[in-house]
Structures are given as structure tokens and as C-alpha cells.
Amino acid sequence: MKRLGIMTTGGDCSGLNTAIHRIVRGATLRGWHVFGILDGTDGLCANPPAAIRLNDMTLPIENARLAGSFLHNGHAGAMNFETAAEAGRVKQFNKRLQDGLKQLKLDALILIGGNGSLSLAWSNRETYRDLQLICIPKTIDMDMPLTERTIGFDTAVQQLTSFCDQLMLTARSHHRWFVVQAMGRDCGQLALHAGVAIGASAILIPEIKFDINNLISHIKNAQTDYGIIVVSEGISLRGHSGRPADMISRKLTAAGITNRTAFPEHTQRAGDTTAADRILATRFADCALDAIANNETYVMTALIDGDVHTVALSDFIASGDIVRDPKIPDLMTSNAYVSPDNPLLSVAHDMGIYIGEKK
């Protein structure tokens, strides 16, 4: 009888609880014992490890739709790879992780995380050498290579779309523009998808250069005197500092365009999980359990051409744009960005949305 552990790491999002619930249900039907590790690596480092036995009633199905992680993702300032790197104690930290895994006597661990968590898992793969490591991709940024979707992205798009829908009503009432700052770090997928969904007047993302004067002209020449400008948090404006939405807003104000800024912030990581994210979480959970049954390890579940498969973590690393992590020395993360041939860019352009100086 296998002993399976589940751990969620990094930022939370909608769909984590669905994935946890489906893993528990599928594993239980296989006759496996399932343990949830609380607070990610923080809980794994505790002595004894902070873990609970999971069954169908631990996380009832009616609560599986909720946002956040039932297992929590760690305390602020607790020991993790970032704080261990700052203290020069990465080796000691990895040893504590190994000890925690041994105490739990796990045969396999399902790690649900973003590109930082998966890159860390690969770079510190010796930590997991005594068990099977299966990773499930989740992030609202959708900045992970080798998978067409990540858990949490669809719900985040819906959350941001709903936020902008409400702003559009007050924008119309007051003849003004709203500059809405989307999450996404250095990837513009969230801003692009939500911007197209709401019919934004402009979408600014890190991957496409923009000209502030062309943006201003586009807004002044618009057929209406109100609307939404979606700005990804990863954009920059030469010679200016501060929050991207504020920088764009100041330029619009200087040009005589009445506007306000709006920051949906962590509401994008909340909200009841959409059907699409629930289905994806269920498919990833089933794929992860099959991988364990097939004795796979160091793999990630991925949606490719509509089908769900496992891909090697080594391929995940090799397929992305490798970027040095600003917080963890020597860590290189594997990233994906909006491709220049992304069809949504052409759709946005054809719909009269300013998306920058796309060739």
C-alpha cells in the first residue's frame, strides 16, 4: 500500500483545493494512504513534520471549489528556500526536508506549484531521491513552459474580467478611463486574456513594446470617452518609476485624459474555481496518480494539444526561457511568455485594441 504526500507551495490560486480533493479521492480508490503536508516546506521542516491524514471528509467536495489551499502555503518569514539562501543554509535546509520526508515514510510526493517551485524541485532533486516526485503546474500567471494551461489561470481571468466589467459601468457614467493593473509578473497572459474578454481599449504587456504617445493618441481618437486600459504589472516606462498603472495614469492626465487607476490585487487569486479549472485540476490529479502507479518520477503533468500527459522535469527546465531568480542566488527558473505569434494579439489588433508596437 503506497503512502502519498501532497504539498502546495508558492502563491495560492483557485483550483488548488479541487486538485487536492481529486488526488485524495483517486488515491483512496486505489487503496493508498494520503497525507497533506501543511504550510509547504515550512511544515515539512518541522519536527515532527506538520502533516495530516486526508480522506474524502477532510476536505468535503462542497469546499473543493473554494480558492486558496486547504493545506496552506507557508508562513511569512518561515524557513523556505528563499530565507535559507539568504542565511547561507540551503544545504541544511535540504537536509531538513529529506528528514521530514523520511519521517513521513512517503513513497511518492505530489508537489503542486508554479515555475519557481518546480525549478527549485529540479535544482534540488537529490532531496527527493528516495521517493517518486510528481509535479502539478498551478499559477495565475500562466508563465510555465510545456503546458497550455495551468491550474488557477482560467479563474483569475474570470475574476479580472468581472472586476473590469463593474468598472466599465462607472467609467461610462463619469466619462472617464480606468487604468487597471493586472498581476502576472513578467508574463502578460492574464492581462491579454482578460483585456480581450472585456473589450479593453488598450492592453499593455511586458512582451510587446509600446509608445506612450501612440497610446495617448489611440485613446483620444477612440469612438467613446470612457473605457478600460489593462496594464500588466511587469511593464516599464522609460524614465519613470512606481506602479505601472500609476505611471500610465500620470501620462494620460498630463495629456488631458480624465482617468482613474484600479488595482484588483489578490482578488485575481481568489474566487470560486471555474468549471474549466476544476476539470483541469481533475485531469492533472488523475494523470499524477497514473504516473505514480507507473513508477514515474521527476515529471510534471501538462496539457498538450488538448491531452494531458507527463513530461520530464528536465524537459520543463530545458524548454523555457531561463531567468535568474532575483531572490535566490544560483537559482535559474524556467519561464514562458506571450509569444509574438499568439493569436490573441492579432485578434486584439483586429478589434481596435492598442497592444503596443506589434509588427
Terminal Cα distance for the chain, rounded: 57
Burial class (CB in 10 A: 0-12, 13-18, 19+), 99: middle
Buried-state track 178-209, b at ≥16 Cβ within 10 A, e below 16: bbbbbbbbbbbbbbbbbbbbbebbbbbbbbbe
Distant-in-sequence, close-in-space partners of 321: CB < 8 Å, separation ≥ 6: 145, 334, 335, 336, 337
Strand partners, 135: 111, 300
3-state secondary structure (DSSP) of residue 24: helix
- Sign of dihedral through CA atoms 108, 113, 119, 123? negative
> Which set of grid coordinates corresponds to residue 352?
481596435
Which amino acid is residue 182, in one-letter code? A
Helix-strand-coil percent breakdown of the chain, rounded to 5?
Answer: 40, 20, 40
Kindly calculate the radius of gyration of the chain based on its CA atoms and give it in whole angstroms. 22
Please give the sequence-ordered ranges of beta strands (E in DSSP) within 299-346, or none if there are none.
Answer: 299-304, 307-312, 321-324, 332-335
Which amino acid is residue 84, in one-letter code? A
3-state secondary structure (DSSP) of residue 53: strand
* 225 is annotated as an active-site residue: no
d(CA 166, CA 171): 9
Burial class (CB in 10 A: 0-12, 13-18, 19+), 305: exposed
Q: Identify the active-site residue in 12, 39, 141, 143.
A: 141
Helix (H) or strand (E) holding 220: helix 212-220
Tell me which residues are annotated as active site. Answer: 141
